Structure 1
Amino acid sequence: METIWIIGCGRFGRIALERLDSGKRITKFVVVEPEPEHFPQPRANVKIVRQDGVDFLKQNLAGQSAPDWIIPALPVHLAVLWLMADAEPVRIRRCEPPEGLEKRLPNPIYGHTGDIYISMADFMCPDNCPEPADYCPATGKKREQNLFERLEKLDVSEFEIKIIRSHQLAPGVGGYKPESLLELKQKVSQKPGKHLIATACRCHGVITPVYTQA
C-alpha cells in the first residue's frame, strides 16, 4: 500500500488529500497539523497526527515507517527547516543570499524569513494545473525550460546549489520522495560552507541560502 505524508492541513493540504484520495488507488495518508480545527473528517485510510510538521519529520523520517511521498503543504520551506532541526552534529543556519541573486531568478518574491519564492509565471496560476512537460496550459505557450533545470545551471560564487525536485502527484499537488531529503542532508552536511537549497517543480519553487558549519 502506498503511503503519503501530507505536512500541513490548510487549504493546500486539504486539496492534496481530496485529489489524491480518489479511490483509484489504495493509499494510506498521514496528515500532520498542529491546529485541530484544520483536520479533515476521519476516514479509514487517513491518520491524523496533531504535531508540528518539522518535529514530525525529525522524529519519523529516518525510521522504517518512511512514506512513499512527502507533500509539503505549509507556507514555509519545509526541507530547509527540517535540515536545520535535524543536522546534528553539523550546524546549518540561514545566511544572507549572494548579492544580485534575485536578478537571476524568475519573478522572485522574498518571504519574511529570507526564503525566496520564484515562478516561471508572472500571473496567478490555477491551483489545478496539470503541469504538462511541453507547454503552459494557462498561456498555451511552449515550455522552454523547467524551473528545476534552470536552477541547476545557476553558477553562484561561494555557493553550492542543491535542488529537491517536486513531482506532480495530482493536478496542483506536488511532492518528493523521502530519499531526496535524506540525500540532501548527507550532501549538505558533508560540505561545509554556503549553499542555496531549493525545492522546485517545473514552474514554481522556493530557494533558501544557508551556511553549514561542522
Structure 2
Amino acid sequence: MDVVYGGGKYGKEAVEWLIENGREFVVIDVDENCLVNREMDVEKFGGRFLKGEIRELLDVIEEEKPEYIFPTAPIHIAASLVSKKFNLEVWNEGINYVLSGIPAKIIVSAGRGSVVVSYNRDYTCLPKCSAPDVCPVTKIRKPAPMYSLLEFAIPEGFVIKTIYLRPGLGAVRGEEILDLFDWAEKRDKIFVATACRCHGVVTALRRRP
C-alpha cells in the first residue's frame, strides 16, 4: 500500500495516479474537508482517508510499511518524521555546516534549521517536467542530480531520493524512511535531506538537552 500526506492539489494528482494503477492507499490530512475528500470518493477505489498529522503518518509507516510515500504537504516530511520519532529539535546553527558545502547560486532560502536548493532557483518550473539533464527553463546543464550534490555537501547526513513515477509526480520509498530511522537512532546530531534531480531541502536536527 501507499500513503499520500496532504489532500490538496498535489495530493489529488497522487491519488489519481494510484487509482489509475490499481493501488491501495491512505490519504492523511488534518482537514477532513480537503480537496481530495471533497472531489474524490477514495474508498470506491481502494483508498481510505485518515484525519491526522505527522504522528499519524509515522504510525502508518511503522505499522503498514508502505511502498511509496507521496509528500505533498508543504513541509520537509522526512525531517518531521525523524524529529517526531526521536523527539528532536531543530538545530539552527547546524545549517551553517550545510551551507559551507552548497554553491550559493542554487540556494533558494536558508534559516530555521533548513536550506532549500534548486537548479531553477529564480523561475517557475514547467508543469509535468521530466527533469532532463538540461533544464528546459534555464537551459543550463545540471552538473549532477541534486541528490548527488547533497550527498557530497553533507557526507555525514542522510539523503532520501525522490523518484519520478511520471513527469511532475514524485514519491519517496517507504523503506528509505525506515532506513533513516535506523540510521538516526543513536545519533545526537542529524542532517537529513530529501531531493530529486532538480530540487532539495536539508534540515539540521539534534537531541534535546
Q: TM-score range by the shorter chain?
A: 0.7 to 0.9
Alignment of 1:187 with 2:183, yes or no, is: yes
After TM superposition, the structure 1 = structure 2 runs for residues 158-197 of structure 1, keeping only pairs within 5 Å, are 160-192=156-188, 194-197=189-192
Q: Contact (CA 8 Å) 1:188, 1:212: kept in 2 or not?
A: no
Aligned-pair CA distance for 1:140: 4.5
- Using the size of structure 1 for normalisation, the TM-score is 0.82
Aligned equivalent of 1:17? 15
Alignment of 1:209 with 2:207, yes or no, is: no
Aligned equivalent of 2:45? 44
Q: Contact (CA 8 Å) 2:125, 2:137: kept in 1 or not?
A: yes
Alignment of 1:129 with 2:129, yes or no, is: yes
Residue deviations 1:122-149 (CA, integer Å, cap 9, x gap): 21112311223x3323345433211000
Residue deviations 1:13-64 (CA, integer Å, cap 9, x gap): 122223x1463x3212211112122124113222111222x1222222122x
Q: Contact (CA 8 Å) 1:6, 1:72: kept in 2 or not?
A: yes
After TM superposition, the structure 1 = structure 2 runs for residues 41-120 of structure 1, keeping only pairs within 5 Å, are 41-42=40-41, 43-52=44-53, 54-63=54-63, 65-87=64-86, 91-96=87-92, 97-99=94-96, 101-102=98-99, 104-105=102-103, 106-110=106-110, 113-120=112-119
Pair 1:100–1:59, CA change in 2 (3 A) = closer
Q: Contact (CA 8 Å) 2:23, 2:46: kept in 1 or not?
A: yes
Q: Contact (CA 8 Å) 2:3, 2:26: kept in 1 or not?
A: yes
Tell me the matched-pair count: 199
Residues in 2 aligned to 1:72 and 1:16: alpha-carbon distance in whole angstroms? 10
- Using the size of structure 2 for normalisation, the TM-score is 0.84
For the residue of structure 1 that corresponds to 2:11, the secondary structure is helix
Q: Contact (CA 8 Å) 2:28, 2:57: kept in 1 or not?
A: no
Residues in 2 aligned to 1:198 and 1:69: alpha-carbon distance in whole angstroms? 17
Residue deviations 1:48-101 (CA, integer Å, cap 9, x gap): 11222x1222222122x22210011111111111111112xxx42211234374
**What is the Cα-based RMSD across aligned positions, in Å?**
2.3
Residues in 2 aligned to 1:31 and 1:37: alpha-carbon distance in whole angstroms? 12
Identity over aligned residues, as a percent?
24
Aligned equivalent of 2:24? 28
Further displaced range: 98-107 or 5-14: 98-107
Aligned-pair CA distance for 1:213: 6.1
Residues in 2 aligned to 1:26 and 1:68: alpha-carbon distance in whole angstroms? 14
Residues in 2 aligned to 1:51 and 1:135: alpha-carbon distance in whole angstroms? 39
Q: Contact (CA 8 Å) 1:102, 1:108: kept in 2 or not?
A: no
Normalized per residue, the structure richer in helix is: 2
